[in-house]
Amino acid sequence: MFNFPMLPVQASTFAERVDLLFWALVLFLFVYATGVTLVFLYFGLKYRQNPKVNRRSVHSENTALELTWTIIPVVVALGIFAWGAVLYYDYATVPENAIEISVIGKRWMWKMQHGNGIREVNTLHVPANQPVKLIMQSQDVIHSFYVPAFRVKQDVLPARYTTLWFEATLPGEYPLFCAEYCGTEHSTMGGTVVVMEPQDYQEWLAGGPTLTPANAGESLFQTLGCATCHAAGEKNRGPDLHGVYNREVHLRGGETLVADEEYIRESIMTPTARIVDGYAPLMPSYQNQLQQDQVASLLAYIKSLSKIGQ
């Protein structure tokens, strides 16, 4: 006997909630479509053309009926919208205790790097029952990181960071796909997410390298001469980067934003795009000079400066 499940196994905290909303939509559409079809057939048979029937006194309006078939679908639609909005809010809000892993999409492979420096290709090891945040960027074209068992999918874009988080609940191995057509070998761009018990995951991490992305970023920071302008202090030519990550930044023109991963990446690649208030546009652009993994290392180092003293 072949096993053809309607949906993949539920292996994350999102999976059951997404499936519940999916089946609710299926049920609503089935009931609605069936009801409309049956009424259509009934009216078609009952009021079919017949010269023996007098249809001169036909009522053209029925306010109660019109309100009923307008209000009920609107209420149901708004209820489904609210349900989906709550689910999307949770999907978009990353827990503070999430483990961060860097992901680079490249035709035709997935490159991962963990916080301690371990690198993987087309395989991602994660712990069970622990939120995991993926910080993703494409090296060439648009890709899409998709794990059906987790019910999560996120586009991975060139020249921009996107994030995705999940919390796996069931240890095992689950297929990873690229869900955006990215070229001739798109169908081969896949991999495996390996969910491990927390203790096994820590033992697996312990076997990794000692050079973390933050360490590599610090070395690159010094090599590029970034410390010349961004050292701690108030009289430097560039802003102090200690504690800048996730902090509110005031820009020229009065704009205010939070210094997240995307803003820091943009400030490295195109530093004159959004200039911090009180500083001159002196920093050169590193566009086409740094590899994606080097930018990720610099980001890891700058983020580590915000953890000092915490």
Q: Regarding predicted confidence, which is higher, 12 or 297?
A: 12
Asked whether residue 227 carries a pLDDT value surpassing 90, the answer given is no
Asked whether residue 164 carries a pLDDT value surpassing 90, the answer given is yes
The two three-digit tokens of residue 61, written as one number: 């309006």
Q: What is the pLDDT of residue 195?
A: 97
Q: Regarding predicted confidence, which is higher, 32 or 50?
A: 32
The two three-digit tokens of residue 67, written as one number: 């309100």
Asked whether residue 79 carries a pLDDT value surpassing 80, the answer given is yes
- Residue 214 near residue 300, CB atoms below 8 Å: yes
Each residue's pLDDT tens digit, 100-155: 999 999 999 999 999 888 889 999 999 999 999 999 999 999 999 999 999 999 99
Burial bucket for residue 286 (CB in 10 Å: 0-12, 13-18, 19+): middle
- Residue 194 near residue 124, CB atoms below 8 Å: yes
- Residue 156 near residue 137, CB atoms below 8 Å: yes
Other CB atoms within 10 Å distance of the CB of residue 16:
12
Asked whether residue 24 carries a pLDDT value surpassing 50, the answer given is yes
Asked whether residue 166 carries a pLDDT value surpassing 70, the answer given is yes
Q: What is the pLDDT of residue 2?
A: 47
pTM above 0.85, yes or no: no
Q: What is the pLDDT of residue 176?
A: 95
Q: Chain centroid to CA 6: how far?
A: 24
Each residue's pLDDT tens digit, 174-220: 999 999 999 999 999 999 999 999 999 998 988 766 678 888 888 88
Alpha helix segments (H runs only) across the chain = 15-46, 63-92, 198-206, 213-223, 227-230, 261-269, 292-305
Asked whether residue 233 carries a pLDDT value surpassing 70, the answer given is no
- Band (pLDDT 50/70/90 cuts) for residue 309 is very low
Each residue's pLDDT tens digit, 253-308: 888 988 888 888 888 888 888 888 888 888 888 888 888 888 888 888 888 888 65
Q: Could you tell me the domains of the chain?
A: 1-43+94-210 (2.60.40.420), 213-305 (1.10.760.10)
Q: What is the pLDDT of residue 123?
A: 95
